[in-house]
Amino acid sequence: MMNRLALHGGTPVRLEKIFPIWPITAATDREKLLEVFDSGKWWYGEKVKEFEEKYAIFHDAKYGVTCANGTVALEIALVACGIGAGDEVIVPPYTFMATASAVLRVNAVPVFADIELDTCNLDPVDVERKITDKTKAILPVHLGGLPVDMDAFKVLARKYKLVLVEDACHSWGSKWKGKGTGAIGDCGVFSFQMSKNITSGEGGILLTDSEDIADRARSYTNCGRIKGGAWYEHYLLGSNLRMTELQAAILLGQLERLEEQTLRREKNAVYLSELLKDIPGISLMRRDPRVTRRSYHIYIFRFLPEEWPGVSRDRFLEALKAEGIPCGNGYNIPLYKNPLFQRRAEGPGYCPTSCPYHGGKVDYTQVVCANAELMSREGCWIPHTVLLAEEPDMKDIAEAIKKIWEHRKELSDA
């Protein structure tokens, strides 16, 4: 029974052992939360300010502006950087919908450039091909916590006079050449949604070294108010997007453990990669030596179907789950294949398929990003919680994949 696949009635590699459950909390978290609860001061105040300052320092940024969630943080970043109606913003198609929908929400036009197959990150070479006279910004994503090639994107931003906004919603604690992600471009944004490596259920933050961007972002989140202005004076078309004191209290507790957890995930991921590198049928992601710390929101590898005749990626993942290893297929279509982008409409005003401010139609049904489409079919994800376990648990993951490889002929999709 030990030699049979669990999917076929054999004993799983992990029969009773469980991986860490998220979120991880401590008694001090409860104390911080109760302190705010008992104070009666639940609204935007000192705890929010304290978290903004500490998180900005953690990521080597001068300013932090919190908000309701990572999705609106992206919108705030674009508005604060002057992106508006008809502007083109280059984004990757292998990411969460918010990366592109935030562009639409500010009446700008998403332009999809392909990703690198061995990082899943936006490809600077394809980005340069997509730049036009309407391009105003590049919005790369540090997918899974792996920083993009920020040197290449900074060169492009300078060369073409573009805004560089980092979607750092997977990269709390990641560093590029010693500096925290989110503080390298003009600004960067983070999410604290429930699944994230630091969480308050929902929440977000924008980081920047620019006081002007920080001030505009603050105004946009705080109903259009400005520093030094009266409470009922509103200068920008802002909204109420503030974080609460209760959320900030939870995040302050989580932040105390973030560095240790980041280092633990990174250590386990490096060890896991060493165990997996010689197993046929899978391909690991490349790590650029300029990445000096990686947060690992997701451990990603490719399933190579040509080496698994008759076996699909999803069948492989089904077998891996049966062996007791948490895993998933991630983004199973590129963003441009979502119904929002595939719909057709005639006449002006039907963004994203046409935009009167852009001056031309955008037909997303004709977009093809070959690498993103391949990763959508072949990508395999292991969640960050798994990497908070111990080295023997990493051995279990490798053992489970080896077991499936050895029994691959029994794993037909038929």
Angle between helices 98-105 and 70-80 (to 10 degrees): 40
Q: Is residue 331 annotated as part of the catalytic site, yes or no?
A: no
User: Residue type at 149?
Assistant: D
- H-type alpha helices, 84-182: 98-105, 124-130, 150-160
Sign, CA dihedral 24-27-31-37, equals positive
**Averaged pLDDT score across all residues of the chain:** 95
**Confidence at 412, pLDDT banded by 50, 70, 90:** confident
Contact 177, 149 (CB under 8 A): no
Is pLDDT at 11 greater than 90 in this prediction? yes
Give the orientation angle of helix 391-406 with respect to helix 245-276, to 10 degrees. 50
Judged against a pLDDT cut of 60, whether residue 345 lies above it is answered with: no
pLDDT given for residue 413 in this prediction: 62
What is the pLDDT at residue 270?
A: 98
Q: Looking at 196, 297, 358, 403, which residue is catalytic? A: 196
Active site residue 313: no
* Residue from 133, 161, 232, 366 carrying the catalytic annotation: 232
| Cα–Cα distance list, 92 to 110, 120, 124, 217, 368 (Å) | 9, 9, 11, 24, 12
Catalytic residue, from 149, 167, 186, 396: name it.
167
pLDDT at 344: 62
| H or E segment and range at residue 204 | strand 204-208
Q: Encode 56-65: b = buried (16+ Cβ within 10 Å), e = exposed.
A: bebbbbebbb
Question: How many other β-carbons are positioned within 10 Å of the β-carbon of residue 363?
Answer: 13
Domain boundaries, the chain: 27-254
Q: Does position 414 have pLDDT exceeding 70, yes or no?
A: no
- Looking at residue 121, its pLDDT comes to 98
- Name the 3-class secondary structure at 22: coil
Active-site residue (options: 14, 136, 170, 293):
170
User: Which pTM was predicted?
Assistant: 0.96
Has residue 2 got a pLDDT over 80? no
How does residue 342 score in pLDDT terms, banded at 50, 70 and 90? confident
* Catalytic pick among 19, 44, 58, 96: 96
pLDDT per position as a tens digit, 88-101: 999 999 999 999 99
Please tell me which residue in 32, 218, 242, 297 is annotated as part of the active site.
Answer: 242
Predicted confidence (pLDDT) at residue 145 exceeds the cutoff of 80: yes
The reply to whether 167 belongs to the active site is yes
If you average pLDDT over residues 159-165, what whole number do you get? 98
Q: Reply yes or no on domain 27-254 having CATH 3.40.800.10.
A: no
Instruction: Give the chain's end-to-end CA distance (angstroms, integer).
Output: 23
55 is annotated as an active-site residue? no
Is 196 assigned a catalytic role? yes
- Of 60, 130, 193, 215, the catalytic one is 193
Position 348 pLDDT exceeds 60: no
Tokens of 193: 């949604």
Question: Average pLDDT for residues 223-227, to the nearest whole number?
Answer: 96
**Pairing state between β 175-176 and 291-293:** antiparallel
Q: Which of 14, 216, 225, 384 is catalytic?
A: 225
pLDDT-derived band at 353, boundaries 50, 70, 90? low
